[in-house]
Structure 1
Amino acid sequence: MPKTIVVSGYKPYEIGVFDQKNPGIHYIKQALKKQFIQLLDEGLEWVIISGQLGVELWAAEVVFDLQLEGYESLQLAVITPFLNQEEKWKDVHKEWYESVLAGADYIDSITKKPYENPNQFRLKNQFFVEKSDGLLLLFDPEKDGSPKYLYETAKRYQEHISYDIRLITFYDLQLIVEEEQLKQDF
């Protein structure tokens, strides 16, 4: 029963999302919420993200919504791979990120320095897997993308330690879309 879960997934551009008005975001958030509620029933206390754009920040927004819906004990940690990760982002993305940080229960960085090299991302993946009970990943092994590296780290870790890996695939998202459409038809 995972008390602490890392949540990650594709960056917006990897799934064709180029603005916050994209209707697909609603379905991604619905899939995350469904998983979170199931995990809360199993004892979930903390959601950990690295604060990257896309699935991670949408997950943070879902955590905030759930807190307002009565799950006050659910907490959000934003643990970045390095300092000032948002430094080169567009202003609109920085504002979104800062709004998530403002609502987070815990904020820290793994390496206490700015970006130096890709090894900082490998360190983040290893840290996340070792400091959590499970991983919830919007990732389809059929579609390559940045979540692949965290997924592979978690799979290797799982070979030695009991570790919960849950995927939200494109098929899962399609089922959510169909469920929502059925609700609208009635």
Structure 2
Amino acid sequence: MNRIWITGYRSFELNVFNDNDPKIKVIKYALKNYLIDKLENSEIDWVITGANLGVEQWCSEIMMKLREEYNIRFSVIIPYTNFADRWNENNQAKFINIKNGADFFASTSNLPYSTPAQLKNYQKFIIDHTDQALMIYDPEHPGKPKYDYQLIKNTQENKDYPLDLIDFYDLQDFAEQYQENHNLRN
């Protein structure tokens, strides 16, 4: 079994504040193309992600569609039980949809948020239960994913743990591809 962890920027870090932002289409296009390539080469069996607003939720939305065509399952893991409680109604509805749509959903802590240690335990759990990672992240533009990036880099010092990055240059290329493909169809 080959399990991949997919994570990256939160929506606010990409200046995405509504569901119609064209950046979402490009990021989903990048995720979908990456995952289809992996699936068609039988390189992954499970996609493991979190439920953060942004790349992780967009990944889950892509997975719900890809699962219809490919033999793939996906899991959503959160670091504590009240993860989405402070979100607005719209974002909570998205969270519930993703939670209900996942093949497996769990929390690494059975308690509400109480300490940063819950986040470190979450990261350790994810690293211990995946074989590789994909991040939509650019080390030249750090944000919250820098902690995951650093953990992966530290892990690579002790074991084989491949990391693929889709950075801002790659996203620009995907934006151009997306534009070309959608202009050809119209």
Question: Which bracket does the TM-score occupy, shorter chain normalised?
Answer: over 0.9
Measured after TM superposition, the shift of residue 185 of structure 1 is 4.7
- Residue 170 of structure 1 is matched in structure 2 by 168
Tell me which of 102, 107, 110 is aligned to 2:108. 110
- Residue 87 of structure 1 is matched in structure 2 by 85
Tell me which of 89, 96, 99 is aligned to 1:98. 96
AA aligned opposite 2:110: K
- Unpaired segments of 5 or more residues in structure 1? none
Alignment of 1:32 onto 2:54: no
**TM alignment of 1:33-72, pairs within 5 A:** 33-40=32-39, 41-68=41-68, 70-71=69-70
| TM-score, normalisation: structure 2 | 0.94
AA aligned opposite 1:82: Y
- Residue 147 of structure 1 is matched in structure 2 by 145
**How far apart, in 1, do the equivalents of 2:109 and 2:142 lie?**
27
Report sequence identity in percent: 34
**How far apart, in 2, do the equivalents of 1:14 and 1:151 lie?**
15
AA aligned opposite 2:7: S
What per-residue deviation string (whole Å, max 9, x for no partner) do you get for residues 45-96 of structure 1? Answer: 111112111100100011111122x11x211111110112011111100000
- Residue 17 of structure 2 is matched in structure 1 by 18
CA-based RMSD: 1.2
**How far apart, in 1, do the equivalents of 2:178 and 2:103 lie?**
31
CA contact (8 A) 2:136 2:166 kept: yes
Alignment of 1:158 onto 2:156: yes
SS in 2 for 1:113: coil
CA contact (8 A) 2:29 2:178 kept: no
Structure 1 runs, 4 residues or longer, greater than 6 Å off: none
- Unpaired segments of 5 or more residues in structure 2? none
| TM-score, normalisation: structure 1 | 0.94
AA aligned opposite 1:66: L
Aligned length: 183
Measured after TM superposition, the shift of residue 37 of structure 1 is 1.2
CA contact (8 A) 2:6 2:135 kept: yes
AA aligned opposite 2:135: L
Q: Could you tell which deviates more after superposition, 117-126 or 97-106?
A: 117-126
CA contact (8 A) 2:7 2:145 kept: yes
What per-residue deviation string (whole Å, max 9, x for no partner) do you get for residues 80-125 of structure 1? Answer: 1011201111110000010111111001111111101122111111
SS in 2 for 1:83: coil
Summarize the Cα distance change of 1:88–1:184 in structure 2 as closer, same or farther, 3 Å threshold: closer
AA aligned opposite 2:103: D
Summarize the Cα distance change of 1:159–1:106 in structure 2 as closer, same or farther, 3 Å threshold: same
Tell me which of 120, 127, 130 is aligned to 1:122. 120
